[in-house]
Amino acid sequence: MISTSIWKKSRKFRQCDPLEKLLFLFLISNEDLELCGIYEISLDDVAHYSGIDGRTLPNMLTHLEEIGLVIYCDGWVMIPGYTKTQNKNNSKIRTGIDNSLGRVPEHIRRLMDESLKSHASVPCNSNSNSNSNSNSNLITSPQPVVDDEDPKVPDAQIPKRCATAQAILSEKFNMQLRMSDIALLEDLFDRVYPSVVYAQLHKLAGKTVESGKDPPEKPVHYLHSYMRNWSKRMTNDQMDAAKRKQQHVKPEPVPMCKCGGEVRTADNEAMCIACNAGWKLADGKWEPLPNGGAGHGE
């Protein structure tokens, strides 16, 4: 997630020229980025997808490393402080960070640790060979490079389609939207209809009251992690399937027809080819369709 404050509050970002800013924004937003902030990507791919001349990339990466924005080692990128932008109250995100970090080769972690400890006095991208065996924990707890302030947004500055979300947050959670919340809501609104987001916020508030537990520290972040794979282009059946996948609900086995005929499935429906009995998958269970043939299974 790119903080909107980066343009005004990040001293390091302001030291970059326009192409270096484009490169940094690409490195923190492309689809190869991992939750731990360390991932593998070739310079050819960076040049292809960013549109930056590949011949200029080594010097640009060296400068980004010198000012502490990125580290590039042997085809691997590290964004220092990236994990601090994640919602660590979410156990799945914490697990994702640990798992993605575990996929980083040990020698890459050592090189990046050494570069961080030296404060980039010898940039990793300059082909320096380090044989340090230090077990530094800098990789897992780096210093943030972007101002991590997340200010509250005054009511007058809240975008129109986020106003209802603010009303729900104020009434149900006694909270005010923050800058990061606005960006996450806008992302959700591009995926699903706003009314769906509002309904889920109400549902989250209701569950909090029923359970008697404290509400999430950041309800919008919590909601975004839950809904980020939803799409308004999905059918209701597809949305049900996406919910089951998130909740790890396994559907029942394909039903057996009393007549003994073969049952075939398509999408979320099943039909016996012998007697035309039909079923529909709903919430992981096969429900008989009315007027669907001679023999629905038990």
- 210-250: pLDDT as tens digits: 777 777 888 998 888 888 777 665 555 666 666 666 555 56
> Which tens digit of pLDDT belongs to each residue from 124-148?
554 444 443 333 334 443 333 433 4
**Cβ-Cβ contacts under 8 Å for 114 (sequence gap 6 or more):** 124, 130, 132, 134
Nearest to 112 by CA among 66, 63, 59, 72: 72
> Which tens digit of pLDDT belongs to each residue from 13-51?
888 999 999 999 999 889 888 888 899 999 999 999 999
Task: Quote the CA–CA distance of 145 and 142 in Å, as a whole number.
Answer: 9
Q: Is residue 298 pLDDT above 60, yes or no?
A: no
Alpha-helix residue ranges (DSSP H) falling in 151-273? 163-168, 179-191, 194-211, 219-227, 236-247
Give the pLDDT of residue 51: 92
Please check whether residue 1 is in contact with residue 146, taking contact to mean a CB–CB distance below 8 angstroms.
no
Helix (H) or strand (E) run with residue 107 in it: helix 106-117
- What is the CA angle 288-293-295, rounded to 5? 70
- How far apart are the two ends of the chain, measured CA to CA in Å? 49
Give the pLDDT of residue 143: 37
- Sole residue written with tokens 């580290």: 71
Mean pLDDT of 119-127: 47
Q: Is residue 110 pLDDT above 70, yes or no?
A: yes
Give the pLDDT of residue 254: 82
Give the pLDDT of residue 193: 83
For 254, other C-beta atoms within 10 Å of its C-beta total: 13
Give the pLDDT of residue 232: 60
Give the pLDDT of residue 189: 86
Give the pLDDT of residue 281: 83
Task: Quote the CA–CA distance of 128 and 131 in Å, as a whole number.
Answer: 10
Q: Is residue 170 pLDDT above 70, yes or no?
A: yes
Give the pLDDT of residue 257: 87
Give the pLDDT of residue 165: 92
**At 12, is the pLDDT very low, low, confident or very high (cuts 50, 70, 90)?**
confident
Output the average pLDDT for the chain: 78
Two tokens at 19? 């192409």
Two tokens at 180? 């990061």
Give the pLDDT of residue 9: 76
> Which tens digit of pLDDT belongs to each residue from 178-215?
888 898 898 888 888 888 889 889 888 888 777 777 77
Percent of the chain beyond pLDDT 90?
A: 15
